[in-house]
Structure 1
Amino acid sequence: MVKNGDRKNHEHESFDIPMDVFPPQDNNDLDDDGRPKRTGTFWTASSHIITAVIGSGVLSLAWAIAQLGWIAGPVVMILFSVVTYYTSTLLAYCYRTGDPLSGKRNYTYMDAVESNLGGFKVKVCGVVQYVNLFGVGIGYTVAAAISAMAIKRSNCFHSSHGKDPCHMNSNIYMISFGAAEIILSQIPDFHELWWLSILAAVMSFTYSLIGLGLGIGKVVGNKKIKGSITGVTVGTITQTQKIWKTFQALGNIAFAYSYSMILIEIQDTVKCGPPSEAKTMQKATLISVLVTTFFYMLCGCFGYASFGDSSPGNLLTGFGFYNPYWLIDIANVAIIVHLVGAYQVYCQPLFSFIEINTAKIFPNSDFINKEFEVPIPGCNAFKFNLFRLIWRTIFVVITTVIAMLLPFFNDIVGLIGAIGFWPLTVYFPVEMYIAQKKIPKLSLRWICLELLSFACLMVSLSAAAGSIAGIIDDVKAYKPFQTSY
């Protein structure tokens, strides 16, 4: 599993699936909706969330804390964890419409929005979700290229003993990553990606633990804790830059905590109660957020303690660490493998959404609907579709070209976090909970929930503004397709 990556049955998102797609089974093997019994528990749900949340966002946390300082940095991280936990508990109640034990199940985030809010808000939710997934595709292309360059640069530094600046261009690495994704994107659906998802999960923990270990080792080697109470000081950067970078740091932290849009789908794996799935998910969310926050605190704080105000934007590619170079290489290979899988796990829902809707509009088109089987010796025949080949290839090419135009890891991560945090983590869960529980308008609880939503909207807008300002600032010194690092 990967950052925001544990997805289940996306191809039926917001659509009903006929029961004949499931093999005949005894009634004792079926749940109340006629589908095979869910077997998930508190422990499996917790592990899904933890492995989904801990991803590439962890690499920017040291930089984020450096912008905020030793007091505000950890405090903001804790606040994000508290808000994420609270809104996730609200969202858990929206898995079923009506009775928490026997009400109609909502299989996806959009299903929950449609059941509880309906109308125009469903379309808004879809746009936000899929724009966010599109942005993740761009961000992962940038991150993979940066890691590939870091491998080559670390070996270059090692062989030249630091005398060669080792400048290189990122374009070839982005193109290579895009070519790999074009091939992998032809895998028809999410269910056939299970092996890639598991591999990505292992890689995610590998590079995160390496980053943490290197941070601890550097603090011990320095024999002191670097950093300051207020973070990067004005003078080193301008006051305006300080404000924008502080806002951008909020987006980076938000990105690290974003998993709400997969919570409903994780909940759909939990076995029927009592206790209700909502109660099980609340407990799973609590332990998951505690574990994740503890891990993030270690990575972010040890990273900042190692490098102080000069903490790199990406802990493993910013070259705060040079040795052991082979361990840096292993970590960056793990990042690349993780991102190869993460790109597919994130984009498959978008692929499926477009293909399902296109098929509904043109049900008689062979170009869109006809499947060809390509025999593969020793394996099952590969299903080939012309529309899938062309549209998914175009999608990957677009994300690759945009990544080549805007190869700025921190800015892109901050913007993605800002775009997704308020609507998906706060607004929709709050509004669905209000509708589900029929909370009276202008009651004390209604006012408190709306104030929370408004405060988080301001945070998202600030983070988006800071990230956009960072992109504009970086673009001034960047020549597309030419600049070397």
Structure 2
Amino acid sequence: MGTVVPNSPKLSPENGENSAVVGSNKQLDAGALFVLKSRGSWLHCGYHLTTAIVAPALLSLPFAFALLGWVGGVLCLTVAGLVTFYSYNLLSMVLEHHAAIGKRQLRFRDMAHDILGPGWGRYFVGPLQLGICYGAVIACTLLGGQSLKYIYLVSKPNGSMELYHFVIIFGSLTLVMAQMPSFHSLRHINLVSLFLCLAYCACTTAGAIYIGYSKNAPPRDYSITNVGVNRVLGVFNAFSIIATTYGNGIIPEIQATIAPPVTGKMFKGLLVCYAVVISTFFSVAISGYWAFGNQSQGSVLSNFMVNNHPLLPKWFLLMTNVFTLVQVSAVVLVYMQPTNVVIERAFADPKKDQFSIRNVVPRLIFRSLSIVIATTLAAMLPFFGDIMALFGAFGCIPLDFILPMVFYNVTFKLSKKSLTYWGNTLIAVFSTVLAMVGAVASVRQIILDAKTYRLFANM
């Protein structure tokens, strides 16, 4: 539940950032106390937001454009950007409101508990967020392995190593980095991540333009190939891809890292984040679709090679994939935080120091176990992208498009005659329909691809 802020200004010197939130460590469980330290600035918040949103999943945007066409693709990408910025700002305003009245909420489930009731936080929002974020960890681990394999094949086209080998290598790297003690401790990593995402998006855009103008340019066709029901489901599948790409199910946890007072800081962080979002999402989507048309693949980087023959210099492909590989490792760490909160809450003792043997040993064991499980699942299920599309429909859309509208309307008790109330309601209703149809489209895609599914497949 949300944490009550006492009137006493006295802070304990060793835990000042948490005491500023609650005044007493006894009021916080170990998950909130150790992982969600409130020490950051609005600029740190911008770094965290950027890493959570601007991830290598954006390389699928040209494929979404192929399902929507030029007009539909640009329109959908623009509307989704505006709606998510509005939605995340609403969440921030709700969090600031509760902090101002003495009940700062540090987690998504805290918000659901305080605004909608205990059952919503415990049985719906908490498990949903945890599932989505851990699913993102698995998906990013798989993506990291695929990036390593891509680098390997560019360097050694006839190499014999398989995908699961690279997933394990990437998981081993994550195993070490996952021991970072708190969300706030990732701020410098996420600053590097911000520059890396700008770098690989610039490389991707430049590469697509180069190929588009080269003599080896593939024939471009911008027509939508699907017809009938396939076309309709393809459109909703594209909606789900774009919504998931903008997705960020950890806004409250990111705002929890900000040192009080929090008023206005999240908005500045969102401005930093969306400056990067606009420059990366639109450049990659438009250049990739322009260069490859309806032949755009699930990741536009796959279009840079034809029959294992690179269309760009090898050093350029290697550089682009190294940028992608390193940035996705930061994304894994960000989406591990809700899991880390649960681990610390269950196994750490908030009455002892965070770096005491009593707390370090369980942290090391259970965080490592969490990464081992995620790596194993990523290696076993190389088709996890199809599953994540289903998770995105069920999870990202409710967390990012529906609940923020509901939280805002309920918290501020908006009049049913107000334009804001009906605007929020309309977004929530449309998003609900989108989630249901997107789930149907995702299940259908899983069924179509089921014949190629094989554990530990070398995809």
Tell me the TM-score normalized by structure 2: 0.80
The residue that corresponds to 2:58 in the other structure is 58
Give deviations 1:370-421, integer Å, cap 9, x for gaps. 9539xxxxxxxxx741x43443333223222322332136525533432333
Gap change, CA 1:424 and 1:457, over 3 Å in 2: same
The residue that corresponds to 1:484 in the other structure is 458
The residue that corresponds to 2:104 in the other structure is 105
Gap change, CA 1:448 and 1:191, over 3 Å in 2: closer
Matched, 1:84 2:84: yes
The residue that corresponds to 1:177 in the other structure is 170
Q: Secondary structure at the match of 2:320?
A: helix
Gap change, CA 1:24 and 1:85, over 3 Å in 2: closer
Task: Please tell me whether the aligned partners of residues 91 and 429 of structure 1 are also in contact (alpha carbons under 8 angstroms).
Answer: yes
- Deviation of the 1:152 alpha carbon: 1.5
The residue that corresponds to 2:434 in the other structure is 459
The residue that corresponds to 1:473 in the other structure is 448
The 1-side partners of 2:228 and 2:400 are apart by 31
- Deviation of the 1:299 alpha carbon: 0.6
The residue that corresponds to 2:33 in the other structure is none
- Deviation of the 1:356 alpha carbon: 0.9
The 1-side partners of 2:125 and 2:288 are apart by 35
Moved more, 420-429 or 464-473: 464-473
The residue that corresponds to 2:274 in the other structure is 289
- Deviation of the 1:53 alpha carbon: 2.2
The residue that corresponds to 2:263 in the other structure is 277
Give deviations 1:195-238, integer Å, cap 9, x for gaps. 5434433333322221122122223336999755543x03xxx7
The 2-side partners of 1:181 and 1:224 are apart by 38
Among 193, 213, 222, the alignment partner of 1:200 is 193
- Deviation of the 1:139 alpha carbon: 0.4
Letter in 2 for 1:414: A
Show the 5 A alignment for 1:66-465: 66-97=66-97, 104-123=103-122, 124-157=124-157, 169-221=162-214, 228=221, 230-231=223-224, 233-234=225-226, 241-259=230-248, 261-262=250-251, 265-266=254-255, 269=258, 272=261, 277-278=263-264, 281-282=266-267, 285=270, 288-289=273-274, 291-320=276-305, 322-359=311-348, 371-372=356-357, 384-385=360-361, 387-408=362-383, 410-440=385-415, 445-465=420-440
The 2-side partners of 1:370 and 1:296 are apart by 40
- Percentage of pairs with the same residue: 25
Q: Secondary structure at the match of 1:93?
A: helix
**Unpaired runs of at least 5, structure 2:** 25-36
The 1-side partners of 2:266 and 2:185 are apart by 26
The 1-side partners of 2:321 and 2:391 are apart by 22
Letter in 1 for 2:195: V
- Deviation of the 1:347 alpha carbon: 1.0
Q: Secondary structure at the match of 2:72?
A: helix
Give deviations 1:1-44, integer Å, cap 9, x for gaps. xxxxxxxxxxxx9667997654498xxxx979769997845x66
The number of equivalent residue pairs is: 437
Q: Secondary structure at the match of 2:301?
A: coil
- Deviation of the 1:445 alpha carbon: 4.7
Q: Secondary structure at the match of 1:259?
A: coil
Task: Please tell me whether the aligned partners of residues 255 and 416 of structure 1 are also in contact (alpha carbons under 8 angstroms).
Answer: no
The residue that corresponds to 1:5 in the other structure is none
Letter in 2 for 1:435: V
Gap change, CA 1:68 and 1:406, over 3 Å in 2: farther
The 2-side partners of 1:359 and 1:51 are apart by 27
Task: Please tell me whether the aligned partners of residues 185 and 392 of structure 1 are also in contact (alpha carbons under 8 angstroms).
Answer: yes
Task: Please tell me whether the aligned partners of residues 204 and 335 of structure 1 are also in contact (alpha carbons under 8 angstroms).
Answer: yes
Task: Please tell me whether the aligned partners of residues 108 and 250 of structure 2 are also in contact (alpha carbons under 8 angstroms).
Answer: yes
**Unpaired runs of at least 5, structure 1:** 1-12, 158-163, 374-382
The 1-side partners of 2:399 and 2:419 are apart by 23
Task: Please tell me whether the aligned partners of residues 96 and 103 of structure 1 are also in contact (alpha carbons under 8 angstroms).
Answer: no
Gap change, CA 1:172 and 1:223, over 3 Å in 2: closer
Gap change, CA 1:451 and 1:471, over 3 Å in 2: same
Gap change, CA 1:33 and 1:181, over 3 Å in 2: closer
Q: Secondary structure at the match of 2:74?
A: helix
Letter in 2 for 1:118: G
Gap change, CA 1:16 and 1:400, over 3 Å in 2: farther
Gap change, CA 1:319 and 1:169, over 3 Å in 2: farther
Gap change, CA 1:149 and 1:225, over 3 Å in 2: closer
Q: Looking at secondary structure, tell me which structure has more helix per residue.
A: 2
- Deviation of the 1:136 alpha carbon: 0.5
The 2-side partners of 1:242 and 1:153 are apart by 34
Task: Please tell me whether the aligned partners of residues 67 and 245 of structure 1 are also in contact (alpha carbons under 8 angstroms).
Answer: yes
- Deviation of the 1:260 alpha carbon: 5.4
Task: Please tell me whether the aligned partners of residues 137 and 332 of structure 2 are also in contact (alpha carbons under 8 angstroms).
Answer: yes
The CA RMSD over aligned residues, in Å, is 3.9
Give deviations 1:63-93, integer Å, cap 9, x for gaps. 1111211121111111111211222232122
Gap change, CA 1:295 and 1:207, over 3 Å in 2: closer
Task: Please tell me whether the aligned partners of residues 95 and 267 of structure 1 are also in contact (alpha carbons under 8 angstroms).
Answer: no
Q: Secondary structure at the match of 1:421?
A: helix
- Deviation of the 1:306 alpha carbon: 1.0
Q: Secondary structure at the match of 1:129?
A: helix
Letter in 2 for 1:112: M
Gap change, CA 1:257 and 1:44, over 3 Å in 2: same
Moved more, 117-126 or 69-78: 117-126
Letter in 2 for 1:110: R
